[in-house]
Amino acid sequence: MMDLIIKNGTVITAKDTFKADIGVRDGKIEVITRSLDQMEAKQIIDATGNYVLPGALDAHTHLEMPFGGTVSSDSYEAGTRAAACGGTTTVFDFVIQGKGQGLVEAVEGRRALCEPQACVDYSFHTAITDLTPAVLKEFKQAVDYGINSFKVFMVYKKEGLMVDDGVMVRAMIRAKEVGARVSVHAENPDVIDMNIENFLKEGKTHAWYHYLSRPEYAEAEADKRAIHWAKSFNVPLYIVHLACKEGMDEVTRARQEGYDVIAETCPQYLYFTNEVYKREDGRNFVCSPPIKGPESQDALWDGIKRGDISIVATDHCPFQSYEKDWGKDDFTKIPNGCMGVENMYPYMLSEANRGRISFNKAVEVCSTNVAQLFGCAPQKGTIAPGSDADLVIYDPEKTYVISKDNMHSDVDYTIWEGVELKGYPVMTFSRGKLVYDNGQFVGEKGWGEFVKRTPLT
């Protein structure tokens, strides 16, 4: 007797596409076979005509994070609820180390906040803001705890997040020693500050100047600098939210030379261009690094197709429209961040459905690679016997128009308003439990579990 059988679907993993029935027991995939017609189950789903995919892992979220003079609008409950409704069954959230705080202490504080709220499984990256010798030593304890990824910000001085190259390189070297990886937010802070100062002096305050103060060159220099250090010390590097062509080219070169340099981009960089900042509601699209021009967008898509972008993640960090409005007359007052946790997988699958990439590629960058590169495969990120039954049933024929009214986060608008997708998830299962069913969230808060990750080899 199985708990769940999904019958007659087309199973899609990063590597394969095949027709099969899937049997689930105790939250795990137990059997994948041509037919389970003779087997009984408490719940049987007929997926005829639909695809069965592994749930996505969003490698980059900021839920209820203090930032930009406020707190990002989606709580752990709202953010993970929205994730479930977009076929994402694990989120990796950022814990920001407080000054003087230990890393495990910081993680435990956020874990306590997340645990009673989480609707899907979760893990954490830690962002280093205060790299004392004790903290460097503690990287090992953090890895033993299940955290093998440490983030540094090359910007955000006034927010108290920025580190210098000395800190970045020390963190990179220590991370390698303990089986972890450093990720970087790469932009050049000094040139951005100069641009901002000049624009404000000239009374140039619209959201368009957010883009112009940190255009392609401001990101490219920092992408290249981070890669330069990773190559010089031969240490792993992960560039989060890569958004520019020059950075993409440098990532590609480093990978061709055999370095362990990995890049992530986000759906907002793949769908929108910098033109959005000229719009009346341009401030709603303000994030850092900003969305770039079409040449960069093309380079990112090419990077995905070549395999030089390994991960698509959201950088989900929404703010309410009243908070975005603080920057109506001064772009520097706009809290930085956009929403996407419910949109990433449906958007990437829709692009697959339209033929831009294969479905296998969409699964690879949104799910499998995240699990493999961050130490939770094969528990997560695939459809295989023994893996968690994090499954999405996807209807390739469905047409879906995104609107704030059909989203499940707590934000009062979406930058994705009106975007039409070809195909859409109809059901999401988290460890065998149905959490999303045809437009409705049907899961429960507190269901999600902490995913303990293993050291990287």
Residue ranges in contact with Zn ion by CB under 5 A = 7, 21, 35, 185, 315
Q: Which of residues 408-427 bind ligand URP (CB under 6 A)?
A: none
In the chain, the amino acid numbered 1 is M
CA–CA distance, 242 with 382 (Å, rounded to integer): 25
3-state class (DSSP) for residue 325: helix
CA–CA distance, 23 with 390 (Å, rounded to integer): 12
Residue with smaller CB distance to Zn ion, 185 or 361? 185
Residue 336 contact partner, candidates Zn ion, ligand URP, none, CB within 5 to 8 A by sort of partner: ligand URP
By CB under 6 A, tell whether 315 contacts ligand URP.
yes
By CB under 6 A, tell whether 188 contacts ligand URP.
no
**Which string of b and e fits 323-360 if b means at least 16 CB within 10 Å?**
bbebbeeebbbbbbbbbbbbbbbbbbbbbbbeeebebb
Residue with smaller CB distance to Zn ion, 7 or 174? 7
Residue with smaller CB distance to ligand URP, 161 or 421? 161
Token digits for 407? Answer: 């989203």
Give the one residue of 54, 236, 303, 337 binding ligand URP; rule: CB under 6 A.
Answer: 337
By CB under 6 A, tell whether 81 contacts ligand URP.
no
By CB under 6 A, tell whether 86 contacts ligand URP.
no
CA-based radius of gyration for the chain: 21
Give the one residue of 50, 117, 288, 310 binding ligand URP; rule: CB under 6 A.
Answer: 288
Residue with smaller CB distance to ligand URP, 62 or 231? 62
Give the one residue of 7, 111, 185, 214 binding ligand URP; rule: CB under 6 A.
Answer: 185
Least CB distance to ligand URP at residue 82 (A): 16
Q: What is the DSSP string of 168-205?
A: HHHHHHHHHHTT-EEEEE---HHHHHHHHHHHHHTT--
By CB under 6 A, tell whether 287 contacts ligand URP.
yes
Give the one residue of 7, 62, 255, 453 binding ligand URP; rule: CB under 6 A.
Answer: 62
Residue with smaller CB distance to ligand URP, 23 or 337? 337
By CB under 6 A, tell whether 336 contacts ligand URP.
yes
Q: Is it true that the peptide bond before 335 is cis, omega within 30 degrees of 0?
A: no
By CB under 6 A, tell whether 219 contacts ligand URP.
no
Burial class (CB in 10 A: 0-12, 13-18, 19+), 191: middle
Residue whose C-beta lies closest to Zn ion: 185
Residue with smaller CB distance to Zn ion, 7 or 408? 7
By CB under 6 A, tell whether 265 contacts ligand URP.
no
Residue 181 contact partner, candidates ligand URP, Zn ion, none, CB within 5 to 8 A by sort of partner: none
The count of chain residues that interact with ligand URP, using the rule CB under 6 A, is 8
Q: What is the DSSP string of 243-300?
A: --HHHHHHHHHHHHTT--EEEEE-HHHHH--GGGGGSTTGGGG--SSPP--HHHHHHH
- The closest of 447, 311, 445, 374 to 125, measured between CA atoms, is 374
Least CB distance to ligand URP at residue 65 (A): 8
Helix %, strand %, coil % for the chain, to 5? 35, 25, 40
By CB under 6 A, name the binding residues for ligand URP.
Answer: 62, 185, 287-288, 315, 317, 336-337
